[in-house]
């Protein structure tokens, strides 16, 4: 049994950069590489894709990521754990096998099934967020349970080089290799808590190495253009050091780790995953070398009895239009443009919004401390069940060129389908998971 | 009076329409100061135009940091909001605009 393993984090979201994962795999001497590529809404989007083309519905960057990574993973005997299967893990697995064959590489892929619980869903059930029945929100397109390590462990016990899943709780992707390699008792909540802390710190990749952190005035970070992604050396007692490949940009510090520890945590004493209710309150972070920190002190209580299920639904369409004004009376002209649009079409939308970018579009106020800016950008947005009505917003904003105030420039318009996400809880024993092995 | 941005940093997170804002002093000795001055009520008042629900403050003594969990703070929720910054990612810097004694 191993005393220590090294896990790298090569993606923090579906659209993440690919190059840092290549550098990490080539130079990081990893036992495992984890690619976390599913945001809340990603599976619902992928499910829509799958409806249009049954061989799609997995991560749109899967092909590019795997083409670059596969030779490196094989060369360095690094196992890959990833949720890039999204709404269609089997099709994703087949695509990986196809790439491996093209590259002349022998790989085994374990495809994990069971997170798709759409057929088990009761559409009359009330959702957690609004308390209203699920189906009252819109046509339901997807329902995926957040799976935990108990689903991943059998796949890790197989000889698979790649473990490919749909929805799995992000920290579980990291905790599973720890439990597998150290033979941890998954009913030991303290160890599960420690491992979950490490997984949570790693799951957003560059967010612990200086990304989403840097501020040139108060928190300077060098070399962001070459931001390195993190890896952890985890010991079998649940402590770890986190670092990055020497020569890459960014930084790993107590400060970067503190920000990431609390990221998206509702209650730091009760961070709920399928594996544990983790407690972050006594986590210790120490700088032991430049760009290397030590993590200890995580804890936890036994895992919850129910799994969270994310339910995606069709929420209509959003139309947007933007146009800019600069110089004398820029804000007055932008406001006149806003009034014109509102009078022309505002009544068509149940939700309609006008923002002045550069003034108060992000925080809703300037907290009384900004002068009127030299240039201002009007943004109009609205929601409609009907795509054409949504598109009208951009069309009307564009028409301000010749039908609105003086000097409007740089108009842009867009319309996109909106997929909403709500959630319910589901009994664990209702969710049956399996895996199958594909070989090149 | 001093702006929080001079003494602390923050990161915003989101789940549905819940916004989380961490508050981490640059110097750990300032944790007690923030504990005393930056209450949940003050954060709610500072961001009252955005936060419709309650604000709960959590203390994380191991790392000398605070977490403000703000309910009904992201309109109808991240996935269906019309806001330019639907996730509220920029709101860490709205918290840091607060002034304390």
Cβ contact A355–B94 (<8 Å): no
H or E element, residue A54: none
Check residues A382 and B77 and name the one with the higher pLDDT.
A382
pLDDT for the residue A189: 98
Q: How confident is the model at residue A121 (pLDDT cuts 50, 70, 90)?
A: very high
What are the tens digits of pLDDT across the range A405-434? 999 999 999 999 999 999 999 999 999 999
The 3-state DSSP class for residue B39 equals: coil
Give mean pLDDT, residues A198-207: 98
| Chain B contact for A259 (CB, 8 A cutoff) | yes
Q: How far does the CA of residue A2 sit from the closest CA of chain B (Å)?
A: 29
Rounded to whole angstroms, the Cα distance separating A129 from A132 reads 8
DSSP A64-113: HHHHHHHHHHHHTT-EEEE-TTTT-HHHHHHHHHHHHHHHT---EEEEEE
Check residues A371 and A238 and name the one with the higher pLDDT.
A238
pLDDT for the residue A42: 87
Those of residues 33-92 in B touching chain A at CB distance below 8 A are: 49-50, 56, 58-63, 65, 67, 69, 76-80, 82-85, 89-91
Domains recognised in chain B with CATH numbers: 2-100 (3.30.70)
pLDDT at A40 over 90: no
The 3-state DSSP class for residue B9 equals: strand
pLDDT for the residue A15: 95
CA dihedral A77, A83, A89, A93 (to 10 degrees): -20
pLDDT at A381 over 90: yes
pLDDT for the residue A170: 97
Q: What is the mean pLDDT of chain A?
A: 96
For an interface test with A, which of B23, B63, B100 has the most A Cβ atoms less than 10 Å from its Cβ? B63
Give mean pLDDT, residues A306-317: 96
CB A283 within 8 A of CB A296: yes
For residue A310, give the chain B residue with the closest CA.
B16
Q: What is the largest CA-CA distance in chain B?
A: 41
Rounded to whole angstroms, the Cα distance separating A371 from A429 reads 59
Could you give the count of Cα atoms lying within 13 Å of A58 in the half-sphere of its Cβ? Answer: 25
Which of A35-44, A221-230, A353-362, A400-409 bottoms out in mean pLDDT, i.e. has the lowest? A35-44
pLDDT for the residue A421: 94
Q: CATH fold of A314-423, please?
A: Alpha-Beta Plaits (3.30.70)
pLDDT at B17 over 80: yes
pLDDT at A371 over 90: no
| Chain B contact for A160 (CB, 8 A cutoff) | no
pLDDT at A369 over 80: no
pLDDT for the residue A370: 74
Instruction: Count how many residues are written for chain A.
Output: 440
Give mean pLDDT, residues A179-188: 98
Distance (Å) of CA A411 to CA A203, A348, A388, A394: 38, 21, 19, 9
CA geometry: angle A429, A435, A440, nearest 5 deg = 170
Give mean pLDDT, residues A174-186: 98
Domain boundaries in chain A?
Answer: 4-119+142-310+426-439, 314-423
For residue A349, give the chain B residue with the closest CA.
B82
What are the tens digits of pLDDT across the range A66-89? 999 999 999 999 999 999 999 999
B72 contacts on A by Cβ (under 8 Å): none
For an interface test with A, which of B27, B62, B90, B91 has the most A Cβ atoms less than 10 Å from its Cβ? B62
Give mean pLDDT, residues A238-242: 98
pLDDT for the residue A319: 98
Cβ contact B97–A361 (<8 Å): no
């Amino acid at each position: 049994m191993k005393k220590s393993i090294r896990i790298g984090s090569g993606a923090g979201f579906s659209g993440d950069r690919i190059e840092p994962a290549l550098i990490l795999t080539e130079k990081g001497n990893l036992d495992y590489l984890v690619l976390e590529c599913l945001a809340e809404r990603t599976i619902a989007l992928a499910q829509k894709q799958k409806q249009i083309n049954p061989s799609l519905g997995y991560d749109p960057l899967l092909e590019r990521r795997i083409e670059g990574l596969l030779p490196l993973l094989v060369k360095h005997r690094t196992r890959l754990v990833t949720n890039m299967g999204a709404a269609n893990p089997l099709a994703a697995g087949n695509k990986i096998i196809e790439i491996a064959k093209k590259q002349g590489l022998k790989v085994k892929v374990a495809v994990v099934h069971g997170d798709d619980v759409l057929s088990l869903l009761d559409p009359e059930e009330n959702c957690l967020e609004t308390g209203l029945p699920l189906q009252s929100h819109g046509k339901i397109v997807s329902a995926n349970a957040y799976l935990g390590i108990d689903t991943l462990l059998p796949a890790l016990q197989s000889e698979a080089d790649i473990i490919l899943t749909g929805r799995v709780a992000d920290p579980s992707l990291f905790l599973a290799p720890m439990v597998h390699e150290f033979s941890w008792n998954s009913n030991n909540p303290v160890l599960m808590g420690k491992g979950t802390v490490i997984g949570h710190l790693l799951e957003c990749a560059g967010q612990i190495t200086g990304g989403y952190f840097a501020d040139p005035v108060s928190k300077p970070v060098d070399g962001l253009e070459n931001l390195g992604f993190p890896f952890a050396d985890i010991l079998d007692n649940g402590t770890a050091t986190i670092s990055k490949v020497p020569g890459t940009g960014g930084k790993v510090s107590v400060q970067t780790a503190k920000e990431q520890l609390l990221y998206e945590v509702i209650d730091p004493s009760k961070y709920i995953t399928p594996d544990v209710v983790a407690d972050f309150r006594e986590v210790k972070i120490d700088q032991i070398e430049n760009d290397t920190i030590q993590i200890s002190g995580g804890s936890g209580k036994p895992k919850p009895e129910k799994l969270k299920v994310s339910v995606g639904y069709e929420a209509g369409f959003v139309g947007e239009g933007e146009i800019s004004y600069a110089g004398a009376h820029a804000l007055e002209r932008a406001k006149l443009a806003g009034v014109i649009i509102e009078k022309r079409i505002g009544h068509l939308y149940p939700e309609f919004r006008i923002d002045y970018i550069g003034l108060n579009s992000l925080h809703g106020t300037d907290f009384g401390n900004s002068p009127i800016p030299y240039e201002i950008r009007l943004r109009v947005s609205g929601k409609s069940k009907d795509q054409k009505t949504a598109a009208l917003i951009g069309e009307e904003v564009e028409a301000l060129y010749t039908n609105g105030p003086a000097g409007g420039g740089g108009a842009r318009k867009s319309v996109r389908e909106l997929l909403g996400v709500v959630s319910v809880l589901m009994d664990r024993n209702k969710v049956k998971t399996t895996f199958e092995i594909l070989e090149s | 009076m001093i702006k929080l941005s001079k003494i602390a940093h923050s990161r915003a997170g989101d789940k549905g329409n819940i916004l989380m804002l961490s508050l981490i002093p640059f110097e750990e000795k300032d944790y007690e100061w923030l504990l005393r001055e930056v209450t949940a009520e003050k954060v709610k008042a500072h961001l009252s135009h955005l936060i419709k629900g309650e604000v709960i403050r959590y203390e994380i003594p191991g790392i000398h940091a605070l977490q403000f969990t703000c309910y009904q703070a992201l309109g109808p929720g991240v996935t269906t909001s019309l806001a330019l910054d639907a996730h509220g990612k920029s709101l860490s810097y709205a918290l840091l605009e607060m002034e304390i004694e």
